[in-house]
Chain A
Amino acid sequence: MLNKDADARAGRPIDHRDDGPTIARLVLFCLKVGLMSFGGGLSGWLYREFVQRRGWMTDEDFASSFAFAQMMPGPTITNLIICCCSRFTGSGGVLACIIALLIGPFFAVLGLYTVYGTLSHDPLFQSVSDGVVFAAIGMLMIICIRGVRRTIAFPPGMAVIAGTAFCIGVLHWPMLPVVLCFAGVSIVMAWRTL
């Protein structure tokens, strides 16, 4: 257990035997993510599962998929599930994953609406759903930490990270033009180094 933790921290993929991305595993995972995705922000959980714990994807593949998922219309989590799962399964499998992702929220939102006024104003329920979001931010932070560590030796890449974060997170500029702008600069830089 501890050795595995050390491996994962150092970015070495953990060797899990019989631990491949089967459809059953992907669908079950999507079901869990859907049910827990209060307030969004569960992209960090995908990172943890696909990159950190299972080693199914590289950091770079995940981070570029994440940027792509946000640029495309539609909820980020849905798009990201599409990008991540379609590496391992065909269109039918991806469809099953999306249904698994949305079926929990579908019934939850209707259920909550029928008891609106009691549960959604209940301070305990508020605290629980806020607490899940606080912990989910922790998972996003892991993407940030590992991404910065990976890029720190390459100052132009750091400038892209900082610029994107500042314009959207602090200045609240609209996402799409900011992303297109920084992606353009970043892709030109990548072209020159490769």
Chain B
Amino acid sequence: MSEDRDILFALVAVLAPFSLLSVGGGSAIIPGLQHQAVDVHHWITAEQFVEMFAVARAAPGPGTMLSTLVGWKVAGWTGALVATLALMIPSALLCYGVFRLSDHHSDKKWNRVLRKGLAPVGVGLSIAGSMTLFRLVGGGPGAAVITAISTALLFWRPNMSALFVLAFGALLTVLMRMVI
């Protein structure tokens, strides 16, 4: 029993600092996490890590849910829960704290300046994000057509359910791959 608890503590000790280092969506911590889980703690083998990485990418949710699988492997359901929380809570608390702090002063001039200044950076990041995602899922000309169709749908029909557009994209992709 105490051994179980030691493992849970070790999971938190490894993952909580990574939470605060996971800048840029989380892929930055993957090499460090592999080093800790495979080489230092011998929780999993290198092959298992690669497998978990692939599963976390294929499943819905943030890529950092890889930690859930590591926790699951070493300590079952409790491990999965502890690992997920250890990786999510520190960064979430930090984000909440900083956001509330600045939101509290939302009528001050510096806050308006901050929001006005950050807005174009946010737009630039969503352009970069589109490009990265497109490359990541191996998008070709067919994918570009499907993206363009869904963009047009979303643009001309702002009230259309997003779920419908996502399902439509999935259906078109399935049909396209059956034909080609």
Q: Does A190 lie at the interface of the complex (its beta carbon under 8 Å from any beta carbon of B)?
A: yes
Which of B124, B162, B165 is the one whose CB lies under 8 Å from A163? B124
Which of A5, A72, A106, A120 is the one whose CB lies under 8 Å from B158? A5
Closest to B66 in A: A109
Q: Please report which residues of chain B, range 140-167, place their CB below 8 angstroms from some CB of chain A when the two chains form the complex.
A: 143, 146-151, 153-159, 162-163, 165-166
Q: B130 and A141: CB pair below 8 A?
A: yes
Q: B128 and A138: CB pair below 8 A?
A: no
With A36-B166, A40-B25 known as contacts, the answer to whether A70 contacts B125 (CB < 8 A) is: yes
Which of A128, A137, A140 is the one whose CB lies under 8 Å from B174? A128
Query: 1/0 contact trace for A125-136 toward B, CB 8 Å?
Result: 111111111111
Q: Does B10 lie at the interface of the complex (its beta carbon under 8 Å from any beta carbon of A)?
A: no
Q: Please indicate which of the listed interface residues A5, A40, A124, A164 has the most CB atoms of chain B within 10 Å of its own CB.
A: A40
With A52-B158, A83-B95, A140-B133 known as contacts, the answer to whether A112 contacts B122 (CB < 8 A) is: no
Least distance between A193 CB and chain B CB atoms (Å): 8
Q: A87 and B103: CB pair below 8 A?
A: yes
Q: A9 and B169: CB pair below 8 A?
A: no
**Interface residues of chain A: helix, strand, loop or mixed (majority):** helix
**Interface residues of chain B: helix, strand, loop or mixed (majority):** helix
Q: Which residues of chain A have C-beta atoms less than 8 A from B177's C-beta?
A: 123, 127
Query: 1/0 contact trace for A88-115 toward B, CB 8 Å?
Result: 0001001000100010111011101100
Q: Does A24 lie at the interface of the complex (its beta carbon under 8 Å from any beta carbon of B)?
A: no
Q: B58 and A105: CB pair below 8 A?
A: no
A53 to B115, CA, bound (A): 22
Q: Which residues of chain B have C-beta atoms less than 8 A from A110's C-beta?
A: 68-69, 72, 80
Q: Does B32 lie at the interface of the complex (its beta carbon under 8 Å from any beta carbon of A)?
A: no
Of the four ranges (under 10, 10 to 19, 20 to 34, 35 or more), the interface on chain A belongs to 35 or more
Least distance between B137 CB and chain A CB atoms (Å): 5
Q: Does B136 lie at the interface of the complex (its beta carbon under 8 Å from any beta carbon of A)?
A: yes
A38 to B65, CA, bound (A): 12
Query: 1/0 contact trace for A48-76 toward B, CB 8 Å?
Result: 11001100000111111111111111111
Q: Does A1 lie at the interface of the complex (its beta carbon under 8 Å from any beta carbon of B)?
A: yes
Q: Does A139 lie at the interface of the complex (its beta carbon under 8 Å from any beta carbon of B)?
A: yes
We find that the number of chain B residues with CB closer than 8 angstroms to chain A is: 92
Closest to B87 in A: A74
Q: Which residues of chain B have C-beta atoms less than 8 A from A187's C-beta?
A: 113-114, 117-118
Which of B72, B112, B133 is the one whose CB lies under 8 Å from A137? B133
Q: Does A147 lie at the interface of the complex (its beta carbon under 8 Å from any beta carbon of B)?
A: yes
Q: Which residues of chain B have C-beta atoms less than 8 A from A109's C-beta?
A: 55-56, 59, 61, 65, 68-69
A69 to B177, CA, bound (A): 35
Q: B126 and A38: CB pair below 8 A?
A: no
Q: Which residues of chain A have C-beta atoms less than 8 A from B61's C-beta?
A: 34, 37, 102, 104-106, 108-109
Q: B99 and A124: CB pair below 8 A?
A: no
Show 11 residue pairs from A and B whose CB-CB distance is below 8 angstroms, ordered by the A residue: A67-B122, A73-B19, A83-B99, A110-B69, A134-B172, A140-B126, A164-B127, A169-B127, A169-B131, A170-B131, A187-B117
